[in-house]
Each structure stands twice: as C-alpha cells, then as structure tokens.
C-alpha cells in the first residue's frame, strides 16, 4: 500500500467577457447570457473532478461610445486655411444610443478647446457608427485656423460632459497627430498681360502661355530670335519661373527679370536646353519676366504650353519688418523654431542698402535653397525656409555681402 501526500495549491482563473459572448440573432449583437455557470478543473477533459459554481446577473444595458478616428476638412490643410474637424464615433456597447439623445464631441487642438459638435442626435445602433462634425466653437465658429506649419495634436472627446451613461467612461478620448502644409506657391503670371514677337498661326497666341490650361500653347514663327514678355502688373517677390515646353523647345535662351521694364537682370542663360519642364529659381523682386529665345532645338518655332511665375514663399513683395528698427550690422538672427519641421524663419539684418545673397546649404556644402538675392534696403527681413522636400539633418544658412559671409546652423528633425 502506498501513501500520498496532498499539497493544496490555489489556481486562479480570470474569465473575461470574451469567454462568455455569443451572437444574439434577435438583437444583432454579441451578448452574455445571465445565469448559473460551472467551472471544472481536472487532469483531462474526461476527468474534471474539481469544480466551482458562480452566476452572472443581468446588468443595465448601456451604450459605449468610442472615438475611432479624427478627420479634417480639408484633409491636408495649408497654412491659413480654415479647418473643420470631424470624428467617427462608434457605439461598441450593448444598448443603442436612441435618437433624440445628443452625442456631443469636443475638439482640442494643441491642448486648447477649438470647436465642438452638439447637434448630432440621430442615434447610433449597437455596433453602429456616426460621423460627427464640429458645428460651433469658442469664437462662434466651427473652424480652426491652421496658423502654424508642421504637425499638431488634435484630441476628440466623446460625451465630454458625461450626459450619457456608458459601460466605459474611460475610453472616450482619442488623440492623433495631423499636419499643416505650406501653401502652394501662387502663380503670379496667370491671366496677366503677355507680349510676343510673333505667332505661328491663329489659335497659338501668347495669351495661351498664361491661361492656366496645359494643352493650349503659344508658338512663334520658325525663326530666331523670339521673345515673350509677361507683365505681372506690380512688383512681387518671385521665387521661381517654370517653363512648360512643347516638342518645339529652345536649345538656347535667356530668362530675365526687371522691376521697371528698362533694366533687365539675367536669371538664367540656358545653352543646352532639353525642353520638357524647366524651373528657374530667381528669388528676386520683379514686375516683368522675359524669355528671349536665341536658338531653337527644332526647325519649328518656340512653343510653350504655359509659363508659371511663382510668388516668393516669404511675404509677397518683400518689405523690411518694423522699418523704424534699423540694425547696426549685417547678421543672421537665430532661426525660429530650431530644431524645426518642416519650416523655420530666419531674420536677415541689413544696416544699409546692399546687394545680398542668403542661401541654405546641407552638411556637404551643397546649396539647397536661395532665400534672398538682390538689392535690399536697411531693415530686418524675416524669410521662411521651407524644407518640406528635404531630409532631416543639419543645414547652414549663409548671408553673403560684398565678399563677407555669415553662417548659422539650423537643425531639421522630421
């Protein structure tokens, strides 16, 4: 005869609702049946000698609101745009939100209450979802003004004042990161006055260069030289000029700009043009843009679908800020913000009228942007460096005046 020593051991089982759910066809939801349950434990499924009993009682059926996503209109806002925020609210509880019961949502941008929705009362069935749109805000507007470039946090809170009894009140908040994008550069040439030296045939007039339609074109007579002049109507800060060539492009041309139509500055002398789309960065204040075709690439004329002249991303016609404050020396003020993503402002201090160049270089010394180029009067010039298309890393901003230069280190972190 052998003897056994029994040593008591406590085993704990945690049962979650997942172990009890069944699909209730009548209600169309996953339910848990109230009543008595037995839990059995043993060495195998045929031998479960240890058991315990417990019962589940019916609780109050409640809805459970959960914010599943935050959306914005427009979805990719540009700086300066009005943004309306929306939330998708799911009822993952076991009781519907009946029609007539408001489903309120507050929207918080960078920690500040921006707008809210208090007009949705169409009800949400069990397992259903509602798209709830901000309809009001602290200033009486339902829109948030996208005033700063870069990423920002936006939080939506369902039922913020706790009107609705839910199975969980702790899951009513969702925070996501969204982004404000730099505005698309404005095409200053659109519908402006164009003069051309010749037209190949009716229907190919110079006005086709600035009609905003990329299938209509200007074509010159089949001879060199030919010229296009665009009058922007006023002096603007110009970041670049884009040429959309047809098959009959220029092998050699000069692109020039002028503030008064008399003194012309050469922006580019192309000697080996390949047609297609060419972008010429200018970074200058000008009223007139002139394209002088010197040598055609084909036996045909000069033919372009469109010429775009993009406004400088700075502040239109660049003027010194606070003209009464005149700096005492040339300098680059620390950029703000730093580190930045994706844009930062550099202030250029100019004590007297001078010919200056402000460029940005990567850590290999390669120039990646021209921020200012030309003659500027005394003042402080804040200029925006937009690095949306560049990668993270160290950049150097460089100011050059009369053979001297000043450099400032900047850090972009994406």
270-309 binders of Ca ion (CB under 5 A): 305-306
Instruction: Please pick, from the candidates 114, 142, 172, 335, the single residue that binds Ca ion as defined by CB under 5 A.
Output: 172
In the complex, least distance from residue 411 CB atom to Ca ion, rounded to whole angstroms? 41
Residue 375 binding Ca ion, by CB under 5 A? no
Among 241, 192, 244, 190, which residue's Cα sits nearest to residue 218?
244
In the complex, least distance from residue 166 CB atom to Ca ion, rounded to whole angstroms? 4
Pick between residue 93 and residue 273 the one whose CB is nearest to Ca ion: 93
Cα–Cα distance between 166 and 92 in angstroms, integer?
10
Q: What string marks each residue from 58 to 77 as x (binds Ca ion by CB under 5 A) or -?
A: ------xx------------
In the complex, least distance from residue 213 CB atom to Ca ion, rounded to whole angstroms? 5
Instruction: Please pick, from the candidates 50, 99, 213, 247, the single residue that binds Ca ion as defined by CB under 5 A.
Output: 213
Pick between residue 123 and residue 182 the one whose CB is nearest to Ca ion: 123
Residue 246 binding Ca ion, by CB under 5 A? no
Cα–Cα distance between 127 and 91 in angstroms, integer?
5
Pick between residue 105 and residue 356 the one whose CB is nearest to Ca ion: 105
Pick between residue 171 and residue 295 the one whose CB is nearest to Ca ion: 171
Pick between residue 248 and residue 332 the one whose CB is nearest to Ca ion: 248
Region binding Ca ion by CB under 5 A among candidate stretches 115-123, 201-209, 234-242, 276-284: 201-209
Whats the size of the chain, residue-wise? 414
Pick between residue 96 and residue 320 the one whose CB is nearest to Ca ion: 96
Pick between residue 65 and residue 332 the one whose CB is nearest to Ca ion: 65
Look at the alpha carbons of 148, 81, 373, 350 in this order and tell me if their dihedral is positive or negative.
negative
Among 175, 184, 197, 206, which residue's Cα sits nearest to residue 313?
184
Pick between residue 65 and residue 255 the one whose CB is nearest to Ca ion: 65
Region binding Ca ion by CB under 5 A among candidate stretches 7-15, 48-56, 162-170, 369-377: 162-170
Q: How many CB atoms lie within 10 A of CB 60?
A: 8
Does the bond joining 118 to the residue before it have cis omega, within 30 degrees of 0? Answer: no
Phi/psi of residue 18, nearest 5 degrees: -55, -30
Residue 207, classed as helix, strand or coil, is: helix
Integer-rounded Cα radius of gyration of the chain: 34
Cα–Cα distance between 99 and 21 in angstroms, integer?
27
Region binding Ca ion by CB under 5 A among candidate stretches 111-119, 167-175, 198-206, 265-273: 167-175
Residue 155, classed as helix, strand or coil, is: strand
CB-based contact 362:368 (threshold 8 Å)? yes
In the complex, least distance from residue 300 CB atom to Ca ion, rounded to whole angstroms? 17
> Residue 177: beta bridge partners?
153
The CB-nearest residue to Ca ion is 216
Phi/psi of residue 210, nearest 5 degrees: -130, 25
Cα–Cα distance between 216 and 219 in angstroms, integer?
10
Instruction: Please pick, from the candidates 148, 168, 223, 405, the single residue that binds Ca ion as defined by CB under 5 A.
Output: 168
Instruction: Please pick, from the candidates 95, 166, 246, 267, the single residue that binds Ca ion as defined by CB under 5 A.
Output: 166
Among 331, 319, 324, which residue's Cα sits nearest to residue 377?
319
Instruction: Please pick, from the candidates 29, 104, 208, 303, the single residue that binds Ca ion as defined by CB under 5 A.
Output: 208
Q: What stretches of 312-403 adopt beta strand conformation (E)?
A: 331-332, 343-350, 354-362, 367-376, 379-386, 393-401
Residues found near Ca ion in the complex (CB under 5 A): 64-65, 166, 168, 171-172, 208, 211, 213, 216, 305-306
């Amino acid at each position: 005869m052998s003897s056994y020593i029994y040593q008591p051991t406590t085993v704990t089982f945690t049962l979650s609702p997942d172990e009890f759910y069944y699909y209730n066809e009548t209600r169309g939801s996953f339910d848990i049946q109230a009543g008595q349950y037995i839990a059995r434990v043993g060495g195998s499924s045929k031998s479960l000698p240890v058991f315990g009993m417990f019962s589940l009682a019916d609780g109050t059926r409640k809805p459970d609101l959960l914010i599943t996503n935050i959306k914005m209109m427009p979805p990719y806002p540009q700086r300066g745009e009005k943004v309306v925020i929306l939330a998708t609210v799911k009822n993952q509880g076991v009781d519907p939100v009946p029609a007539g019961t408001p489903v309120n949502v507050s929207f918080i941008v960078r920690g500040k209450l921006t707008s809210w929705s208090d007009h949705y009362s169409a009800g949400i069935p069990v397992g259903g979802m509602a798209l709830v749109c901000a309809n009001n805000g602290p200033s009486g507007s339902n829109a948030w003004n996208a005033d700063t470039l870069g990423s920002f946090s936006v939080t939506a809170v369902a039922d913020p004042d706790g009107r609705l009894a839910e199975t969980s009140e702790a899951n009513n908040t969702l925070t996501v990161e969204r982004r404000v994008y730099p505005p698309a550069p404005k095409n200053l040439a659109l519908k402006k006055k164009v003069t051309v030296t010749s037209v190949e045939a009716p229907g190919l007039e110079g006005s086709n260069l600035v009609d905003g339609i990329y299938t209509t074109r200007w074509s010159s007579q089949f001879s060199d030289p030919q010229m296009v002049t665009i009058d922007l109507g006023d002096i603007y800060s110009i970041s670049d000029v884009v040429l959309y060539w047809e098959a009959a492009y220029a092998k050699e041309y000069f692109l020039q700009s002028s503030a008064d139509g008399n003194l012309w500055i050469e922006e580019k002398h192309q000697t080996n043009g390949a047609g297609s789309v060419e972008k010429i960065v200018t970074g200058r204040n000008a009223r007139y843009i002139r394209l002088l075709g010197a040598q055609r690439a084909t036996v045909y004329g000069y033919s372009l679908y469109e010429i775009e002249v993009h406004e400088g991303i700075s502040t239109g016609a660049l003027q010194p800020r606070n003209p009464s404050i005149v700096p005492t020396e040339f300098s680059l003020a620390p950029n703000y913000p730093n580190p930045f993503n994706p844009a930062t402002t550099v202030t250029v201090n100019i004590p007297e009228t001078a010919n200056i160049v402000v460029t940005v270089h990567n850590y290999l010394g390669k120039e990646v942007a021209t921020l200012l180029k030309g003659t500027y009067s005394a003042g402080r010039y804040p200029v925006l460096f937009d690095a949306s298309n560049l990668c993270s890393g160290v950049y150097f901003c460089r100011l050059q005046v009369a053979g001297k230069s000043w450099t400032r280190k900047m850090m972009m972190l994406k």
